[in-house]
Chains A and B, each alone.
Chain A
Amino acid sequence: MNNIAIQADKLTRKFGKFTAVDDISFSLPYGSIFGFLGANGAGKSTTIRMLCGILAPTSGTGKVAGFDVQTQSEQIKAAIGYVSQRFSLYSDLTVMENLLFFGRIYGLVNSVLKQRIQEVLLLTGLDKYHDRLAGELSGGWKQKLGIANSFLHNPKIIFLDEPTAGIDPIARRSIWELLYQLADQGVSLFVTTHYMEEAERCNTIAFISQGKVFKMGTPSQLKHEISDQLLQVECNPLLKASQAFSKLEGVMGLTVYGTTLNINVRNLEQAKVLIEQAAKRENINITSMRPIPASLEDVFSLLDIEKES
């Protein structure tokens, strides 16, 4: 067996005339966290559904854990774990009863199952809640239960569809710690999210928009690509400045951050000159202007601009 956990080859899915996923190709090795980023409706969930074997692709192929998504969906289902965006375990069953039920339908025999349940409860910290009804857990714990449930049967790959949507920052951090622990054990995680700071935590990320993958790489690679294209300008009056600078030649994007402007430019030196000229003309007072390292959010907003042009 080779080291490829997930491979997508020109994967496409259409719903009527609408193309939800358009010709996506990528391959992921085992033991990493793959972040799939995009706005709502970009095609993230459709991609996951195809890779999990519950939605047939219109064209293209894919392999998950070595099984074909078109023909071997049953084997795929047994080999993967899945955590949905919305809590989808039984809220009127206790934590233990949920795990027993799902463990059984994954074919775990009782002696193994009992032991596995103890392991996942300890790892997720859910052991103190084992006889609590799932519906009475808080959002963060519910999601942890979903994650505990997804690796009960020791899958090599887990798909997580926006596992932290609508969850408070502290719980989110502890969920990510749990995900790192899983990745350390050699489990591959396929995570969709639209939180940029979460994307920073992934080994590899891909940006998807309108069904297409626009950029893929490690977070530092992606940030490096645009690192010499970002200027931070402190100036006032801010509103007037943002209007004046955004019209300048070579300015591709402009974001207001508190008292400063982050300006995406095509060429750093050229832009500096143009901005200074504009400031003089419009009577804008610039206190400082320096190039800064990019964040993933900048990468993301720049992508949007490139796509339009």
Chain B
Amino acid sequence: MRNIKAVMFKEFIHILRDRRTLVLIIVMPLIQLTIYGFGINTDVRHLRTYVYDQDQTYLSRQLVDAFVQSDYFAIAKKVHSLREVQDGLDKGLAQVALIIPPNFTGDVLKKKGSQLQMVIDGTDSTPANVALNSSQAIVNFFLQSQGLMQVLVSPVDFRPRLWYNPALKSSYFMLPGLIGLILQFMVPMITASAIVREKERGNIEQLLVSPIKPYELILGKIIPYVIIGVLIASSIVMVMHFIFRVPIRGSPLTLFWLTLLYLVVCLGIGLWASAIADNQQQSSQIVMFFAMPSILLSGFIFPRETMPTWIHFVGYFIPMTYFLKIVRGIILKGMGFFDLIEQVWPLLLMATIVIIFSIKRFGKRIE
């Protein structure tokens, strides 16, 4: 116990003296929070729209207004030729072009069937889909409200409702996941480099001939990083809750314990990286090698449901896959420990394997 405390004390001095790592620990979560909280927004709003109104009547202007009112579209430019439309789409100045034919009002009133055209830039599928779906609804609603189309009375009163995130804010989805992402990146990185550093600088030689036991050394070195990990996680939760106003519906205590479990898995990955690496550069490369697929395959951004079976399967071996369900479940849905048991046991299993394996590897390395 005394030895563990001595190592911990020394490790904290290292951390406080190592400005670069300290800055990384503080600044990286802040940058990520800002990027994901403000910057990355998958909610599509205000599509850049070119309007080519060849009719120029009260009705056509009302229609354009209806598009703007919906908030999905914003007029970037009113144009006067098809060439301008083409040019705008080609150069990416417009994402969408609304083309109202001459005689629009006349044809509509005579019920002759007017042709209203919308051209959508399909390169990015997300905004294209939004434009496609919303424009249809906007036009229908416009015609009904103008009394130009009969309002159908459906025998079924269909009322879809959005639960958990009624405003469909992407920050609700992103920020809880960010806890998983940041821990997965930083914790293995700083643990691995802290351990590899002793090897790299030859300190391990002095420790080997001292009476300290390997487990005392490892625990003493790891505990400070557990504490740092907890601090990082709590500060992300604070910023998420108080600045980005994401509600926490579940028990903070359950969140704490399960985050700790995930932290242990992340530490284990760091330990393992340090056991096979000879220097800090190698260890951070190993950590990156595992962190990259985590972002893509865990469901952090891309839904796992749409992945091909085998890639979906690979995701089961990524700790973050389980933690994302846990953290989103607790924060957004208010799930309890027992609702999450299916995500908890794989993490427990991973923690056990990775810790046993790395301690064994570490012991061998010392020989």
Contacts and interface: CB of A to CB of B under 8 A. Distances in A.
A6 interface: no
Nearest to B10: A101
Interface in A75-126: 77-78, 80, 82, 84, 86-93, 97, 101-102, 104-107
A105 B209 contact: no
A52 interface: yes
Given A104-B3, A107-B2, A90 B10 contact: yes
Contacts, number: 64
Given A88-B202, A90-B203, A105-B6, A78 B211 contact: yes
A7 B5 CA distance: 36
Contacts of B227: none
Given A88-B202, A91-B201, A97 B209 contact: no
Interface in B270-291: none
Contacts of B204: 88
A74 interface: yes
Given A78-B211, A105-B211, A93 B10 contact: yes
Q: How large is the interface on B (under 10, 10 to 19, 20 to 34, 35 or more residues)?
A: 20 to 34
Interface stretch (B13-21, B98-106, B124-132): B13-21
B209 A54 contact: yes
Contact of B17 (A52, A92, A149, A159): A92
Given A74-B211, A106-B211, A89 B10 contact: no
Contacts of A84: 202, 205-206
Contacts of A107: 2, 211
Interface in A58-76: 74
Contact of B209 (A80, A91, A93): A80
A54 B2 contact: no
Interface in B196-243: 201-212
Can you list the 7 inter-chain pairs with the closest CB atoms, starting with the nearest? Answer: A104-B6, A82-B209, A88-B202, A88-B206, A105-B212, A88-B205, A101-B10
Interface of A: 52-54, 74, 77-78, 80, 82, 84, 86-93, 97, 101-102, 104-107, 149, 159
Given A101-B10, A107-B211, 19 more contacts: A52-B209, A74-B211, A77-B211, A82-B206, A82-B209, A84-B202, A84-B206, A86-B205, A88-B201, A90-B201, A92-B14, A92-B18, A93-B14, A101-B7, A102-B210, A104-B5, A104-B6, A105-B3, A105-B7
